[in-house]
Amino acid sequence: MPSPFPGMDPYLENPVLWPGVHQGLISSIRAALNAILPPHYVADIGERVYIVQPERSIYPDLVVFEHPSPQIQVEQARSTKTAVATVYDPPFVLTYEPVEIREVFVEILPVGEESKVVTIIEVLSYTNKTEGHEGRKLYLTKQQEILKSQTHLIEIDLLRTGEHTVAVSKKELLKRCRWDYLVSLHRGGQGNRFEVWAITVRQRLPRILVPLADGDPDVVLDLQAVFDRCYDEGAYVRRIDYRREPAVALQGEDAEWADKLLREKGLRI
């Protein structure tokens, strides 16, 4: 069963659900590309790994508390050699481990030259968009390295909250359009030129161009089909209660539109 929304489902922006959504989108993008790429290219999944302390993670972490109970310590009195009971207030014990974060992305590689990356496709995560987070620092460093190279970069931002992270200028975008979600394409070696798809929550996700190398024509990736596959395989229709408001709330007319849409589809009374 597809999402009731025509494009991105705002209920999937829930930080609890997003890690699974992110992984599903990456897997679906790889599968979709491998079905349409010329035979001398292949799409694969790359990964970057970093460590953060629990207080720097934006996702739930495992922290173990050992709750104290009254303790009695028995000591041997030196002078009388008799046992003396001493009651003390115990501390609580907190145990945690540093959190390992794994972020995946899609790479398009030439078959036989798989150390050469032609195109990178990133789906932004909450860690990429959280100010001061180690994941954001690493992402922006990598972003700048790619922008200076001949590798093409596609950034897909399906999160309405957080810092502006895609490489294209927010200031310049605001002069041209309104958006809830963004896709930005930077072709390697083209300086400050970007191809942008700006989407609202009421719109279908776009069919985007994916550039290749050596004069090969672009292929077209249907992001809506990718999203629909992710939604279906993740069984999100069973996990989302559309009677409630999304974790990242819609505002104003968009909230009214979503309420009407969900009522028409029988998901709200």
Instruction: Check residue 71 and give its pLDDT.
Output: 53
CB atoms within 10 A of CB 119: 25
pLDDT at 217: 97
- Which SS3 state, helix, strand or coil, does residue 42 take? strand
pLDDT score of 239 more than 90: yes
Q: What pLDDT, on a 0 to 100 scale, did the predictor assign at position 151?
A: 97
User: Per-residue pLDDT for 24 more than 70?
Assistant: yes
Answer yes or no: are the C-beta atoms of 107 and 46 closer than 8 Å: yes
Q: Six-digit token pair at 28?
A: 């679906």
Buried/exposed 144-160: b ≥16 CB within 10 Å, e otherwise: eebbeeebbbbbbbbbb
The candidate with the shortest Cα–Cα distance to 209, out of 180, 184, 181, 177, is: 184
Taking only the tens place, the pLDDT of each residue in 48-65 is 887 766 555 555 444 444
**What is the distance, to the nearest Å, from the Cα of residue 160 to the centroid of all Cα atoms in its chain?**
12
pLDDT score of 61? 45
Q: What is the mean pLDDT of the chain?
A: 89
Contact 93, 66 (CB under 8 A): yes
- Cα 186 to the center of its chain, rounded Å: 20
Q: How confident is the model at residue 110 (pLDDT cuts 50, 70, 90)?
A: very high
The whole-angstrom separation of Cα 14 and Cα 11 is 6
User: Which whole number is the average pLDDT over 12-36?
Assistant: 97
pLDDT of residue 115: 83
Instruction: Tell me the pLDDT tens digit for each residue of 124-176.
Output: 999 999 999 888 999 999 999 999 999 999 999 999 999 999 999 999 999 99
Residue 91, pLDDT score: 83
Of 203, 114, 182, 190, nearest in space to 146 by CA = 190
DSSP string, 73-119: EEEE-TTT--EEEEEE-PPPEEEE-PEEEEEEEEEEEETT-TTS--E
* Residue 83, strand partner residues: 76
Bridge partner residues of 102 (DSSP): 49
Rounded CA-CA distance 50/100 in Å is: 6
* pTM as predicted: 0.84
pLDDT in the model for residue 69: 55
Q: What is the rounded CA–CA span in Å between residue 190 and residue 179? A: 24
C-alpha–C-alpha distance, residues 94 and 67, integer Å: 9
CA-based R_g, the chain, Å: 25
At 71, list the tokens: 């303790």
pLDDT higher than threshold 90 for residue 85? no
- Mean pLDDT, residues 110-125: 93
- Give the angle subtended at the CA of 105 by the CAs of 11 and 164, to the nearest 5°: 60
The pLDDT value recorded for residue 76 is 53
For residue 234, which phi and psi values (nearest 5 degrees)? -85, 0
Which pLDDT belongs to residue 156?
Answer: 98
User: pLDDT band at residue 66, thresholds of 50, 70 and 90?
Assistant: low
